[in-house]
Structure 1
Amino acid sequence: MLFDSGYFALFLASFLAATVIPFSSEALLSGMLATNYNLYWCLGLATLGNWLGGMSSYGLGWLGKIQWIEKYLKIKHSQINKTQKRIKGKELWVAFFCWLPGVGDVIAVILGLLKVNIVWVSIGMFIGKLLRYIVWALITLEAINWFQ
């Protein structure tokens, strides 16, 4: 069951959706649930793929240099320091919002650029992405029941 190409496609789509590549995995998740794929395997693989994709965006940011923010985005060093201080102690909660469409990938890259603690980022990001897929799956299953 795990090696079914549908599950691999969901994992891959979820991974890509969490990178800077514009892609949506929710439609595939809904389609798989509508065709009776296992809910728990779908949730687990979608979350894992999306989390790994988000962590790869964080890793790309980590490879960058703060000087690049100053040089290319024209953001002053004092503003960068202020942002780092603002995030300090809230790393988990900031990373939680990496699930947001459009801006979530940017948040992950910025967290990496600012060298925010990887443990808090990975935990917060995982929780946010898991909850997003749970909510999406519940909405999908309710819609399926409603149309039957």
Structure 2
Amino acid sequence: MSYLALFISALLSATLLPGSSEVLLTALLHEQTAVLWMLWLVATAGNVLGSAINYGLGLQLERFKGRRWFPVSAPQLARAQQFFARYGRFSLLFAWLPVVGDPLTLLAGVIRLPFWQFFWLICIGKGARYALVIWLALQLFATT
């Protein structure tokens, strides 16, 4: 059950919905009832899937840009596309950052970055982030 909760938390955290899978991951680490590498894998997989959902939404986004209810103005969308064109696909390595990460994954879909490039960059960035969270949590638990 704890693995499923972690997966769902990580998935939701990677979408445009708010979430904090790091807190749940740290709590599960503190319990010491779960397998370390499995926690890393489940959190990373959930977070990558959440980012893939954003990518899929981005693929569909431009067809709605002329609608009155569309949340982003044409100039804002153009600026975002210019940002991505300037900093490129490697900015996806930072898709785990708060505030900017989710829009980056959405934008990758908007500009139609090939999915395999998106997927591997997201896996590397998010996997490294969760490895760092685990390492920091274990360091904290060792000192207490």
Superposition TM-score, scaled by structure 2 size: 0.86
Match 1:99 to one of 96, 99, 124: 96
Counterpart residue number, 2:58? 61
Counterpart residue number, 2:73? 73
Instruction: Flag structure 1 segments of 5+ consecutive residues without an equivalent.
Output: none
Whether 2:23 is the aligned partner of 1:27: answer yes
Whether 2:124 is the aligned partner of 1:127: answer yes
Q: Look up the equivalent residue of 1:24 and give its one-letter code.
A: S
Whether 2:139 is the aligned partner of 1:142: answer yes
What is the CA–CA distance in structure 2 between the aligned matches of 1:56 and 1:107, rounded to whole Å?
12
Instruction: Flag structure 2 segments of 5+ consecutive residues without an equivalent.
Output: none
Fraction of identical pairs, as percent? 29
Superposition TM-score, scaled by structure 1 size: 0.84
Counterpart residue number, 1:51? 48
| Aligned residues of 1:66 and 1:113 also touching (Cα < 8 A) | no
Query: RMSD between aligned alpha carbons?
Result: 2.4
How many Å apart are 1:129 and its aligned residue? 0.3
How many Å apart are 1:53 and its aligned residue? 0.3
How many Å apart are 1:76 and its aligned residue? 8.0
How many Å apart are 1:139 and its aligned residue? 0.3
What is the CA–CA distance in structure 2 between the aligned matches of 1:80 and 1:17, rounded to whole Å?
22
What is the CA–CA distance in structure 1 between the aligned matches of 2:77 and 2:102, rounded to whole Å?
23
Tell me: CA distance 1:38–1:114, structure 2 relative to 1, closer, same or farther (3 Å).
Answer: same
How many Å apart are 1:86 and its aligned residue? 2.5
| Aligned residues of 1:95 and 1:122 also touching (Cα < 8 A) | no
